[in-house]
């Protein structure tokens, strides 16, 4: 009997086609996230799961999936998966580190420039027919990256790649990492210092119970007036309610690619704030990066289905290795 695999995200047929010869595939083609009950139903006798950030893989999904041998997510982050439950059930979880570093770092710098040079705001302003005079000395003034002190929270591969780019802009660099780290030209400081000293704070740490709302109400309140918060990590790294208050008062600016609730509800308060640049979680959204991610995710899936160790495993403890 052919082994069954569930694909809980909509992927192009040419990407999925090669798997059809090997596995009995159940593919979700809805544009909205797959409902948990459907996922549970489909996983009842499946051995493999290919998923993405939009599908939470909860402890109860894992408990009910008795035949499951591998979970492979097309993302570097695994906070949508109950990793402890997967590990307890001896199910390896594959992810896609490395391949989206440059695309995400590019986007973080893009958001810094967009927020500080008011690019999206200026575009909206023009399209609403407000450019009635020519060059004006005080039109849409912003601030320079070359004069900014930028604080990078989390010096993993994406944080480091962001720093490499910022060196080229001449920014002053300050960093914080969970474990000690030294990087040329980056002053390591504690989090309180970083938030209150920087003109731009950019979040690059994984979401874990320790980093939940690392940009807390208190830390946001300590930021300089006119400073900006950039988030290409996860929405829950920020106290979003507190950030909205800071943005509404006009004290801070923001460039956000990720949110507490995704997709952002149509009546969300952030949507009415001109000093926030908002993107729909597109940090890795380039043709080549998405192709590299899906290739890596399929490799992990195939390895798990044939009982081989995954090359990119988020819970290597299942193989008796430490994380």
268 is catalytic: no
Residue 246 CB-density burial (10 A; 0-12 exposed, 13-18 middle, 19+ buried) = buried
- What percentage of the chain's residues is helix, strand, coil (to nearest 5)? 35, 15, 50
What are the DSSP E strand ranges found in 167-301? 172-176, 186-188, 200-203, 228-231, 253-256, 276-278
What is the closest distance, in whole angstroms, from the C-beta atom of residue 126 to ligand GLV in the complex?
A: 31
Among 116, 284, 289, 315, which residue interacts with ligand GLV (rule: CB under 6 A)? 284
What is the closest distance, in whole angstroms, from the C-beta atom of residue 218 to ligand GLV in the complex?
A: 26
Cα angle for residues 282, 284, 286 (degrees, 5° grid)? 95
Contacts of ligand GLV in 31-60 (CB under 6 A): 53
Check 95, 197, 204, 281 and give the catalytic one: 281
What is the closest distance, in whole angstroms, from the C-beta atom of residue 130 to ligand GLV in the complex?
A: 35
- The answer to whether residues 154 and 174 touch, using CB atoms and an 8 Å cutoff, is no
What is the closest distance, in whole angstroms, from the C-beta atom of residue 222 to ligand GLV in the complex?
A: 27
Check 187, 262, 299, 317 and give the catalytic one: 262
Among 55, 72, 75, 116, which residue interacts with ligand GLV (rule: CB under 6 A)? 75
Check 234, 253, 296, 302 and give the catalytic one: 234
CA 320 to chain centre: 28
117 is catalytic: no
Backbone angles phi, psi at 320, to 5 degrees: 80, 15
Among 46, 51, 100, 200, which residue interacts with ligand GLV (rule: CB under 6 A)? 100
- The answer to whether residues 23 and 48 touch, using CB atoms and an 8 Å cutoff, is yes
164 is catalytic: no
Residues at the contact surface with ligand GLV, assessed by CB under 6 A:
53, 75-77, 100, 283-284
Positions marked catalytic: 234, 262, 281
């Amino acid at each position: 009997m052919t082994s069954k695999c569930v694909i809980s995200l909509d992927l192009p047929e040419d990407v999925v086609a090669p798997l059809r010869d090997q596995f009995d595939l159940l593919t979700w083609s809805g544009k909205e996230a797959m409902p948990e009950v459907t996922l549970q139903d489909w996983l009842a006798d499946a051995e493999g799961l290919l998923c993405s950030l939009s599908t939470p893989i909860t402890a109860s999904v894992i408990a009910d999936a008795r035949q499951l041998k591998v979970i492979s997510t097309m993302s570097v982050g695994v906070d949508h998966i109950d990793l402890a439950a997967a590990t307890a059930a001896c199910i390896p979880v594959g992810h896609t580190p490395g391949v989206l570093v440059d695309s995400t770092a590019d986007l973080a710098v893009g958001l810094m420039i967009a927020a500080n040079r008011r690019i999206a705001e200026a575009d909206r302003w023009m399209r609403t027919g407000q450019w009635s005079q020519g060059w004006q000395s005080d039109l849409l003034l912003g601030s320079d990256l070359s004069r900014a002190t930028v604080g990078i929270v989390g010096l993993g591969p994406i944080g480091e790649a962001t720093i490499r780019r910022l060196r080229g802009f001449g920014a002053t660099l300050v960093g914080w990492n969970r474990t000690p780290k030294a990087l040329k030209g980056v002053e390591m400081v504690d989090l309180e210092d970083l938030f209150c000293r920087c003109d731009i704070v950019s979040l690059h740490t994984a979401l874990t119970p320790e980093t939940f709302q690392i940009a807390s109400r208190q830390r946001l309140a300590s930021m300089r007036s006119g400073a900006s918060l950039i988030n290409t990590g996860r929405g829950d790294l920020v106290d979003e309610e507190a950030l909205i208050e800071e943005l509404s008062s006009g004290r801070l600016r923001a460039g956000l690619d990720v949110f507490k609730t995704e997709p952002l509800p149509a009546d969300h308060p952030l949507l009415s704030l001109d000093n926030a640049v908002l993107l729909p979680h597109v940090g890795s959204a380039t043709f080549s990066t998405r192709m590299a991610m899906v290739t890596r995710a399929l490799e992990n899936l195939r390895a798990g289905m044939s009982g081989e160790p995954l090359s990119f495993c988020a819970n290597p403890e299942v193989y008796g290795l430490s994380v």
